[in-house]
């Protein structure tokens, strides 16, 4: 096995996870359960495809993708923050809604129930490994940037405060709801970028193309114990397992289904606290305060 090709493939696979998991970290650190990453990614991928198809420019696609994720994130935020709806239910509903909406408009826009026409991605001039793609670099940087924001800025402190102890945060004048709105909006846009990367990388939108990646990101958030750097490393670990599986295909050493299970099994083990218990932010999921 060629180590360079392993590394490049692993990085490319990890990018959607890195974006979505960072989105998950920021929402959950503000106290909002983030099960809708899959839906945000899917709408991001679809909006980006629409934008790139009608404009011909991948950058317009990126902007549209972020916008699509933002719209769904605002539905999530209004339902859970303003109306105090159950965050788990809303997360699952957003995922169902995203599948329905993308399928309906795929049919409306392109008269297809499986995929869009080809769209322009970022041109590959320098290398064939996808390193010309600015989104790839953004994806690699998103976790460290988020760590800086969370632990070194005023906004980050506020996010952590409303996620741990909203009453205390409110008593010192932090606008709890507003901080959470911003955190959920950011999570939607970040996760959407993961979907945008997929669509531009594959030069089209296909039905349910995120294929559970949003849930792998949820797993990475928990396995990384709600810390952006650790969550990023979890994404790389899960991507490495997947790459190993792809590169070993045909060897039949481990059935692919068992490789697919790795992120989920590791997360369950982490939650059960066999090696250092994963403890969520104190106010995660609490609607009344």
Partner 1 sequence: MTSRFREQLEEALFPPFVALLVALIFGDLLILSYGQSPANVYRLLLEGTWGNAYGFGQVLYKATTLAFTGLAVSLGIRAGLFNVGAESQLAAGGFLAALVGLALSPAVPAVIAVPICMVAAAFGGGVVGAIPAFLRVKFGAHEVIVTIMLNFVVLAFLNWIIANHLHVPETLHTPEIHSGAIPRLSEFIPAFHGSAANLTIIVALLAAVGVWFLLFRTRRGYELRAVGLQPDAAEYGGVNVGGVWFRALTLSGAIAGLGGINYVLGYKHYYEDGFAGGSGFLGIAVALVGRNHPIGVILAALFFATLSQGGLAIHAFVPKQMVEVLQGVVIIAVAMSVPEVRRALRQARKPASA
In whole angstroms, how close is the CB of 286 to partner 1 at the nearest point? Answer: 13
200 membership: H or E segment, kind and range: helix 176-202
CA atoms within a 13 Å half-sphere pointing along the CA-CB vector of 55: 15
Nearer to partner 1, 61 or 263 (CB): 263
Residue 144 DSSP SS3: helix
Cβ distance 21 to 41 under 8 Å? no
Of positions 212, 246, 282, 286, contacts partner 1 by CB under 8 A: 212
- Return the number of the residue (71 or 271) whose C-beta is nearest partner 1: 271
- Select the span of 22-30, 176-184, 227-235, 255-263 touching partner 1 (CB under 8 A): 255-263
Return the residue of 3, 83, 123, 251 that touches partner 1, per CB under 8 A: 83
Could you say whether residue 103 binds partner 1 (CB under 8 A)? Answer: yes
Q: Is residue 96 part of the contact set for partner 1 (CB under 8 A)?
A: yes
Under the binding rule (CB under 8 A), the answer on residue 273 touching partner 1 is yes
Residue of 5, 57, 113, 114 that binds partner 1 (CB under 8 A): 113
CA distance 44 to 16: 11
Region class of 124: left (phi > 0), else alpha (psi between -120 and 50), else beta: beta
Binding mask 61-80 vs partner 1 (x if CB under 8 A, - otherwise)?
--------------x---x-
Exposure string for 114-123, b = 16+ CB within 10 A, e = fewer:
eebeebbbbe
Contact 23, 187 (CB under 8 A): yes
Q: What are the structure tokens assigned to 13, written together?
A: 């696979």
Site of interaction with partner 1 (CB under 8 A): 33, 35, 75, 79, 83-86, 88-90, 92-94, 96-101, 103-104, 107-108, 113, 212, 215, 218-219, 222, 255, 257-258, 260-261, 264-265, 267-268, 271-273, 277, 280, 287
């Amino acid at each position: 096995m060629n180590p360079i090709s392993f590394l490049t493939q692993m990085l490319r696979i990890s990018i959607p996870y890195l974006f979505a998991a960072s989105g998950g970290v920021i929402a959950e650190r503000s106290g909002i359960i983030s099960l809708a990453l899959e839906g945000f990614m899917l709408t991001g991928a679809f909006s980006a495809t629409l934008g790139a198809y009608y404009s011909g420019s991948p950058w317009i696609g990126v902007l549209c993708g972020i916008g699509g994720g933002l719209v769904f994130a605002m539905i999530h935020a209004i339902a859970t923050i303003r109306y105090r709806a159950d965050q788990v239910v809303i997360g699952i509903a957003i995922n169902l809604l995203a599948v329905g909406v993308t399928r309906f408009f795929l049919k409306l826009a392109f008269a297809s129930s499986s995929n869009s026409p080809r769209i322009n991605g970022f041109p590959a001039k320098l290398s064939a490994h996808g390193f010309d793609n600015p989104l790839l670099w953004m994806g690699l940087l998103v976790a460290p940037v988020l760590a800086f924001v969370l632990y070194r800025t005023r906004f980050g402190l506020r996010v952590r405060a409303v996620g741990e102890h909203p009453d205390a945060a409110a008593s010192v004048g932090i606008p709890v709801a507003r901080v959470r709105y911003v955190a959920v909006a950011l999570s939607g846009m970040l996760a959407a970028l993961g979907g945008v990367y997929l669509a531009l990388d594959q030069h089209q939108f296909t039905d349910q193309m995120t294929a559970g990646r949003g849930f792998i990101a949820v797993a990475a958030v928990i396995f990384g114990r709600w810390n952006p750097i650790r969550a990023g490393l979890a994404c790389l670990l899960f991507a490495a397992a997947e790459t190993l599986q792809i590169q070993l295909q045909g060897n039949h050493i481990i059935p692919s289904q068992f490789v697919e299970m790795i992120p989920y099994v590791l997360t369950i083990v982490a939650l059960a606290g066999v090696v250092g218990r994963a403890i969520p932010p104190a106010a995660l999921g609490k609607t009344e305060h």
